[in-house]
């Protein structure tokens, strides 16, 4: 039957959209790798999933290409004066730094909560003098999975803010 041309439009079903994103992302990264090898070019791609998780590909690596891109020579007709740019960049940096500090505080609080949960489990075991039963283990498992998910979300937030901060520090303001 062969391949059919599909109409390009947003996939409405969220589950199908996630699967499509994963497959297309893999294909995009393969094509980028082929382009880098065949044409001897440096390439970087950063995409965010529908769930907000960042994915990147770079040849030779993303960091070196971003650094090279952000530190290119600026032409004289690129915009406002240096003073105005530095004020805008400073305000953006302060805002991003504040967001990063807030996320770090939240991450620290969640880590402390996890430590408290572990202490509670140990105290419960010691008080009973016997291993935890099935209902207690289920409750503990749900609490730990919840904590793990929150920590994973916080780490993704921190990684995203770090990437934005890096981009904001080196990107010229329009």
138 and 88 in a common domain? yes
58 and 95 in a common domain? no
Contact (CB, 8 A) for 162 and 100: yes
**Per-residue buried b or exposed e for 8-28, using 16+ beta carbons within 10 Å of the residue's own CB:** eeeeeeeeeeeeebeeeeeee
165 and 118 in a common domain? yes
Domain membership of residue 31 as a residue range: 14-69
Number of domains in the chain: 2
Local confidence pLDDT in tens for the 174 residues of the chain: 678 888 889 888 988 999 999 999 999 999 999 999 999 999 999 999 888 899 999 998 888 888 888 888 554 444 455 555 555 666 677 777 788 888 888 888 888 888 888 888 877 776 766 666 777 788 888 889 999 999 998 888 888 888 877 777 776 655
166 and 87 in a common domain? yes
163 and 87 in a common domain? yes
**74 belongs to a structural domain:** no
28 and 53 in a common domain? yes
**43 belongs to a structural domain:** yes
98 and 62 in a common domain? no
Q: In the listed set 47, 69, 91, which residue is the last one of a domain according to the structure?
A: 69
**151 belongs to a structural domain:** yes
99 and 55 in a common domain? no
For residue 54, what is the domain's CATH number? 3.40.1810.10
Contact (CB, 8 A) for 99 and 161: yes
95 and 137 in a common domain? yes
- CA dist 66 and 168 (Å) reads 12
H helix or E strand, kind and range, residue 147: helix 134-170
**86 belongs to a structural domain:** yes
């Amino acid at each position: 039957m062969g391949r059919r041309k599909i109409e390009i439009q947003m996939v409405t079903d969220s589950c199908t959209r996630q699967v499509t994103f994963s497959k297309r992302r893999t294909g995009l990264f393969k094509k980028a790798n082929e382009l880098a090898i065949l044409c001897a070019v440096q390439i970087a791609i950063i995409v965010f999933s529908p769930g907000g998780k960042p994915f990147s590909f770079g040849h030779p690596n993303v960091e070196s290409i971003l650094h090279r891109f952000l530190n290119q020579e600026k032409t004289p007709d690129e915009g406002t004066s240096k003073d105005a740019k530095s004020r805008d960049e400073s305000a953006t940096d302060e805002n991003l730094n504040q967001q990063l500090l807030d996320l770090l505080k939240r991450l620290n609080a969640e880590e402390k909560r996890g430590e408290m949960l572990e202490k509670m489990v140990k105290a419960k075991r010691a008080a009973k003098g016997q291993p935890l039963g099935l209902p207690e283990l289920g409750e503990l498992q749900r609490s730990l999975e919840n904590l793990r998910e929150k920590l994973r979300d916080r780490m993704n937030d921190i990684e995203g803010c770090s990437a934005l901060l890096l981009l904001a520090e080196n990107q010229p303001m329009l």
